[in-house]
Amino acid sequence: MEPRIVSVALSATHSFSKPPADAIELVAGHGVRGDAHAGPTVRHRYLVRKDASAPNLRQVHLVHRELFDELAAKGFSVGPGDIGENVVTAGVDLLGLPAGTRLRLGAEAVVELTGLRSPCRQLDDFQSGLMSAVLERAADGSPVRKSGVMSVVVVGGTVRPGDAIRVVLPAEPHRALAPV
């Protein structure tokens, strides 16, 4: 499957879910124009309490559509925007990409992956048991976070469902994504 964008979403408030949109505008060094999590410094309420001056490594949240299929097989009903993501992708192994990977979204926009989203208890408020469904354990007991990746905007542009995605890996040695 050719990597592509399935859905885009934003919310001006710190609501859990984000309503899907026809298009979003990514702004370099800022995030999604009009989204509550956009800005050069942290906007996530928990992280603001820790250090409001820290750089915002969570400007754009991406989730792979394949996660929704996996969750449906476990009895959950999750769709675009439901778990707070800005961009839903298809055909890209987001969780397997290294930190620093750049994704060209559509004709202009470029985001750089900064890390994994750590699932939070709000997932269980949305649907009971959802947090454990996206936070599994590997054979060695280490956590496997499946609730998407976070990124910063390197080059701005308009992003729409159906747009192509091009993956550009960073120079080696590669570093695995870690929670941000």
Residue 18 lies in a domain: yes
Residue 178 lies in a domain: no
Dist. CA 180–CA 176, nearest whole Å: 12
Residue 174 lies in a domain: no
- The CATH code of the domain that includes 111 is 2.40.33.20
Residue 83 lies in a domain: yes
Asked if residue 49 has pLDDT above 90, the reply is no
Residue 179 lies in a domain: no
The model's pLDDT over 105-152, given as tens digits with 9 standing for 90+, comes to 999 999 999 999 988 889 999 999 999 999 999 999 999 999 999 999
Q: How high is the pLDDT of residue 47? A: 78
Residue 30 lies in a domain: yes
Residue 113, C-beta contacts closer than 8 angstroms, at least 6 positions apart: 94, 97, 98, 99, 100, 101, 102, 103, 149, 150, 151, 177
Domain count for the chain, please give it.
1
pTM over 0.85: yes
Residue 11 lies in domain = 4-168
The model's pLDDT over 74-101, given as tens digits with 9 standing for 90+, comes to 999 999 999 999 999 999 999 999 999 9
